[in-house]
């Protein structure tokens, strides 16, 4: 038996053409990255003008005292503050979401209506009583403060202002970011009750630090697709098409926050709610493009089997045209998804690609009607259905993709079982 060099040469040519298809796929990947960059720039413009991601650590009782320090070998007394956390904090946050646009790009923004109440326990230190004490609210940025925060301290109301003195929480990576508002709150050696209300605007996510000994955070919104992040997941949550409600109960033993946070250098624990869109078109397109070379390879392999088994010659240029059509599918997907959503964009782009390649097989390759054309269309359609299902199964994509690839190889082996790969003597 001797080798059939015609088949070997044709297989080598197809392999070279497959490598050539990496060029248009690289162009498609670059286009996806470029659109993602445009989206990020649009998000930055909106968040800078509306409000960035919200980080709030509140409230903290600041009590002044004189600290003895050494300066030039002399003892000097400098102002310092005890930072005292609440015994109980009950916070209710209502998130009012909006969607803002720049061109075709959209970003979720919100106004959060925050109401806090609770109390500070009677301090263990006798020197914690001071008429100059104040309560602070500490934020990642003050840009989004939409209404002046109001403090009700032991029954008396007062407004918060920019802090002229005091020290922000020393909280690891957040130390440089925090900004402080202050309201006068004379401290006593007894229980001190408080209520705080304010509105804050932001985008994408809202984070709170559970500083109290016992914390309860209740967050609700009409946004249907939240993402719960941070150091703690909610104890209770309800998510449906009408919005969500989530409840956290966190104590100081799990948060690691001491009653006095002077000199605390640990990472600040956070409760975080992120507003996200149910489908990120660009991320799905980016994932789809990763399978591009595999899908073109499977199509070329099917054409090669069809050519060998059916004795129907396919010119290398025809392989190139089919590969380019499959590469353009991803550009169609990206462009259409910006206007009609990912699902409909996928259906439209896949139908157009399958129709184009099937018509080309009918009039450019086989040049007659028959079952072979329908088999080709059905096989290509099944390939795109498989890709769509694969994109939806994020957690199961590996096992589903592996099984699909195994099934594809098995189908090729079955279809080529009767082919004589050697020439007769």
pLDDT band at 398 (very low <50, low <70, confident <90, very high): confident
Burial of residue 361, with CB atoms counted within 10 A of its CB: 0-12 exposed, 13-18 middle, 19 or more buried = buried
pLDDT digits (tens, 9 = 90+) for 361-378: 777 666 666 676 777 777
Q: Residue 392 belongs to what H/E stretch?
A: helix 371-392
pLDDT digits (tens, 9 = 90+) for 107-155: 888 999 999 999 998 876 767 788 888 998 988 888 888 888 999 999 8
Most confident of 162-171, 303-312, 380-389, 408-417: 380-389
Q: Residue 391 belongs to what H/E stretch?
A: helix 371-392
Residue with tokens 């946004």: 223
Q: Is residue 405 a contact partner of residue 413, using CB atoms and an 8 Å limit? A: no
Average pLDDT estimate for 69-77: 72
Candidates 95, 266, 248; CA nearest to 173 is 266
pLDDT at 95: 93
DSSP states along 173-211? GGTTT-EEEEEE--B-SS-EEEEEEEEEEEESEEEEE--
Average pLDDT estimate for 331-345: 82
pLDDT at 310: 61
pLDDT at 329: 85
Weakest-pLDDT range from 20-29, 86-95, 239-248, 313-322: 313-322
Average pLDDT estimate for 219-238: 90
pLDDT at 91 over 90: yes
pLDDT at 299: 78
Determine the Cα–Cα distance for residues 347 and 385; give it in Å rounded to an integer. Answer: 9
pLDDT at 248: 94
Average pLDDT estimate for 195-199: 94
Average pLDDT estimate for 154-162: 90
Determine the Cα–Cα distance for residues 369 and 374; give it in Å rounded to an integer. Answer: 9
Burial of residue 58, with CB atoms counted within 10 A of its CB: 0-12 exposed, 13-18 middle, 19 or more buried = buried
pLDDT digits (tens, 9 = 90+) for 233-269: 899 999 888 889 999 999 988 888 888 787 677 778 8
Candidates 197, 239, 249, 243; CA nearest to 222 is 243
Weakest-pLDDT range from 269-273, 318-322, 365-369: 365-369
pLDDT at 151: 94
pLDDT at 36: 80
C-alpha distances in angstroms, 335 versus 44, 138, 347?
Answer: 22, 43, 13
pLDDT band at 173 (very low <50, low <70, confident <90, very high): very low
pLDDT at 150: 93
pLDDT at 157: 92
Average pLDDT estimate for 191-204: 91
* Cis-peptide into 59, omega within 30 deg: yes
Quick one: what percent of the chain has pLDDT higher than 90? 18
Domains of the chain (ranges, CATH numbers): 2-39+282-423 (no CATH), 52-277 (2.60.40)
DSSP tag of 127: G
DSSP states along 330-383? HHHHHHHHHHH-HHHHHHHHHHHHHHHHHHHIIIIII-S-SHHHHHHHHHHHHH
pLDDT at 425 over 50: no
């Amino acid at each position: 038996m001797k080798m059939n060099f015609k088949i070997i040469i044709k297989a080598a040519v197809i392999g070279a053409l497959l490598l050539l298809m990496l060029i248009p796929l690289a162009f498609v990947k670059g286009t996806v990255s470029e659109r993602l960059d445009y989206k990020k720039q649009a998000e930055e413009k909106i968040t800078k003008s509306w409000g960035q991601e919200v980080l709030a650590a509140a409230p903290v009782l600041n009590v002044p005292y004189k600290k003895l320090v050494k300066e030039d070998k002399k003892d000097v007394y400098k102002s310092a503050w005890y930072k005292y956390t609440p015994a109980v904090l009950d916070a209710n946050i209502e998130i009012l979401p909006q969607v803002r646009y720049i061109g075709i790009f959209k970003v979720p923004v919100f106004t959060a209506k925050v109401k806090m109440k609770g109390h500070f326990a009677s301090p263990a230190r006798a020197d914690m009583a001071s008429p100059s004490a104040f309560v602070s609210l500490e934020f990642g940025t003050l840009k989004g403060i939409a209404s002046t925060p109001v403090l009700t301290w032991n029954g008396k109301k007062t407004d918060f202002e920019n802090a002229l003195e005091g020290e922000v929480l020393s909280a690891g990576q957040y130390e440089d970011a925090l900004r402080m508002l202050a309201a006068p709150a004379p401290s006593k050696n007894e229980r001190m009750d408080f209520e705080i209300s304010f509105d804050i605007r932001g985008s994408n996510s809202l984070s709170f630090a559970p500083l109290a000994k016992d914390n309860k955070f209740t967050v609700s919104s009409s946004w249907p697709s939240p993402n719960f992040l941070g150091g703690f997941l909610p104890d209770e949550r309800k998510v449906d098409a009408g919005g969500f409600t989530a409840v956290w109960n966190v104590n100081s033993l799990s948060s690691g926050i001491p009653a006095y946070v002077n000199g605390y250098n640990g990472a600040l624990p956070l409760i975080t709610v992120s507003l996200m869109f149910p489908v990120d078109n660009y991320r799905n397109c980016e994932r789809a493009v990763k399978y591009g070379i595999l899908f073109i390879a499977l199509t070329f392999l099917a054409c090669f089997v069809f050519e060998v088994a059916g004795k129907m010659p396919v010119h290398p240029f025809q392989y190139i045209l089919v590969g380019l059509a499959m590469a353009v599918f991803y550009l169609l997907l990206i462009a259409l998804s910006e206007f009609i959503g990912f699902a409909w964009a996928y259906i439209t782009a896949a139908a157009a690609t399958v129709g184009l390649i099937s018509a080309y097989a009918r009039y450019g390759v086989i040049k007659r009607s028959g079952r072979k054309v329908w088999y080709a269309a059905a096989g290509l359609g099944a390939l795109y259905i498989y890709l769509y299902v694969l994109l939806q199964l994020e957690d199961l994509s590996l096992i589903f993709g592996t099984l699909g690839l195994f099934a594809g190889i098995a189908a090729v082996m079955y279809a080529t079982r009767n082919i004589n790969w050697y020439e007769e003597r």
